[in-house]
Amino acid sequence: MPRVNRTAVLSLLIVSSSVFLLFQLYYYRKYVSKPGPHILSRTGHLTATDLQWQTVRTFLLLAQRFGLPLFLADTAALTLLSHEAVRQRDRLVLESHCTFLCTGRPVVSFALFASAWKLEPAFLLVAEQKGFELLELRGDDPRLGSLDTLSGEQIPLHFLFRLHGYIIQVVFLYERSGNYLWNGPLRLKSNVDRNFAPFKLLDYGRHAGAYNRPELVLTVLDGLDIRVPRNISHFLSEQQHAHFLECHYREARNFLQLYPEDVSQAAVDFRRKAKSLLHLAARTLALLDVPFWLSSGTCLGWFRQCSIISYSRDVDIGIFIADFRPDIVAAFRDAGLLLKHKFGKVEDSLELSFLSDDIKLDIFFFYEDGDIVWNGGTQAKSGRKFKYIFPRFSLCWAELLELKVRVPCETLDYVTANYGTTWSVPVMSWDWKSSPSNVQENGVWPPEEWAELIQVY
């Protein structure tokens, strides 16, 4: 049996121990020695959660260094922050260093008020030095959309930072004239690497979004100082229904070239009063937590010319009958509006009309029936009933007269149903009983019920 060379074995052990010690020192300096929770797992190996935690932690510490007031906007993480979820996960909080920010998804989303983004070159340079790859997604500034000429300069909409295969999404929120926040859609140009990020998993960017400004609170999550919305459930609800439609400014300019806007004093006064009335209606219904949308001519004006139709002489809104509240009339009276008429009943063809100065606010209540929705109309002198039929629609946000308001997402279908395929041509003379494309006769109210169902003031 050959004799073992003790010197050689000893040398080999010394070299192996030295290499292992150097590795431990490198690992300690790179991952463990930094302030905050350590990312070493129980097995001594880096797990997927460890890598995501390192990515999030590095990014947030960098943002703190540059004073960027990011707040957590990730839907999965915020869902875990509900009181019920916190209680259910107390045991996991004690066992894991990355409980809320590591949700099992390869993306974590943060939001940033765009007005605070002033350190772009320095921040991005240091992020690159930390190993982050960056995909910048920019777009046109919609706040300049109503202008005839644009500077061509695009604004940041979404920044995607990638490290260790994980994505940090930063959503830029811009203030709009309707006193709300807006985020732009995520549009990939032809030269963008489609494999840079799992774009279908991103919480933000499928479409533009509109939000009320959230109140933020500073808290500690997974050992890190981070801002979150104070009312998390409200923010998540807003995020789910944030879809925003921009007005078609180019088409509106083309329309106004063919049909110049009325600049008479009467038209100017009407637009001013209509704006005031619409804002008042929005405030009143918000206090009741009753959602509404632009309907009839007011919706047509937004869609066709990004404004109100000055010869319409009224403001039209729609409300689903499921959202009706008995105190709506009293609320509008308290707001200073006079009830002009009340037609129909909650079960059938309800319609309210209020008067402010010499402008009407018409509220049409919509009923769901299979694949359609409809609202009713009543002729006071004859008791005749009418029905206006629309295809089903969902609601999106839009802006009109410096107000964030809802409109049917399928606006073209909605407008076409009401005004036909020639909706783009102004009609100065309009008969509500026969002119709409979607009107149908719907019987007559029994005369013995007129006193209750046909009330004119």
Using a 10 angstrom Cβ sphere, with 0-12 exposed, 13-18 middle and 19 or more buried, the burial of residue 426 is middle
| Residue 76 host element (H or E) | helix 75-80
Long-range pairs of 255-261 with CB within 8 A, sequence gap ≥ 24: 255/304, 255/305, 255/424, 256/305, 259/426, 261/305, 261/307, 261/310
pLDDT tens-digit readout, 348-369:
999 999 999 889 999 999 999 9
Q: What is the dihedral of CA 270, 273, 275, 280, to 10 degrees?
A: -150
Q: Are strands 359-369 and 314-320 parallel, antiparallel or unpaired?
A: parallel
Average pLDDT over every residue of 27-41: 42
* Non-local CB neighbours of 363 within 8 Å, separated by 6+ positions: 292, 317, 318, 319, 328, 351, 352, 353, 354
Q: Which amino acid is at 321?
A: I
Average pLDDT over every residue of 43-62: 82
How much is the pLDDT for 12?
61
Say if CB 172 and CB 112 are below 8 A apart. Answer: yes
Average pLDDT over every residue of 150-169: 87
Phi (first) and psi of residue 211, to 5 degrees: -140, 150
Q: Looking at mean pLDDT, say which of 9-23, 96-110, 331-345 comes out highest.
A: 331-345
Global confidence as pTM: 0.85
How much is the pLDDT for 369?
95
| pLDDT at 264 > cutoff 90 | yes
How much is the pLDDT for 358?
87
Average pLDDT over every residue of 287-312: 96
How much is the pLDDT for 239?
96
Indicate the pLDDT class of residue 152, thresholds 50, 70 and 90.
low
| pLDDT at 279 > cutoff 60 | yes
Distance of CA 47 to the CA centre of its chain: 35
How much is the pLDDT for 35?
39
Phi (first) and psi of residue 264, to 5 degrees: -65, 160
- Which residue in this structure is represented by tokens 């209020």? 354
User: What residues form DSSP beta bridges with 139?
Assistant: 155
Give the C-alpha separation, 188 to 180, whole Å: 26
| pLDDT at 309 > cutoff 90 | yes
Average pLDDT over every residue of 25-38: 43
| pLDDT at 24 > cutoff 60 | no
Which of the pair, 412 or 97, is modelled with greater confidence? 412
Domains with residue ranges and CATH for the chain: 33-240 (3.30.460), 249-456 (3.30.460)
Q: What is the DSSP string of 303-314?
A: HHHSS--TTS-E
Give the C-alpha separation, 455 to 168, whole Å: 59
How much is the pLDDT for 208?
97
Task: Tell me what percent of the residues of the chain surpass a pLDDT of 70.
Answer: 85
Average pLDDT over every residue of 120-146: 89
Say if CB 205 and CB 107 are below 8 A apart. Answer: no
CA distances from 223 to 19, 36, 47, 82 (A): 33, 6, 19, 18
- Which residue in this structure is represented by tokens 């209680």? 87
| pLDDT at 66 > cutoff 70 | yes
Closest by CA position to 282, among listed 397, 200, 190? 397
Q: What is the DSSP string of 130-179?
A: TT-EEEEEEE--GGGTTSSS-----EEEEEEEEETTEEEEEEEEEEETTT
pLDDT tens-digit readout, 180-222:
999 999 988 888 888 899 999 999 999 999 999 999 999 988 8
How much is the pLDDT for 313?
86
Closest by CA position to 67, among listed 8, 6, 122, 3? 122
| pLDDT at 39 > cutoff 50 | no
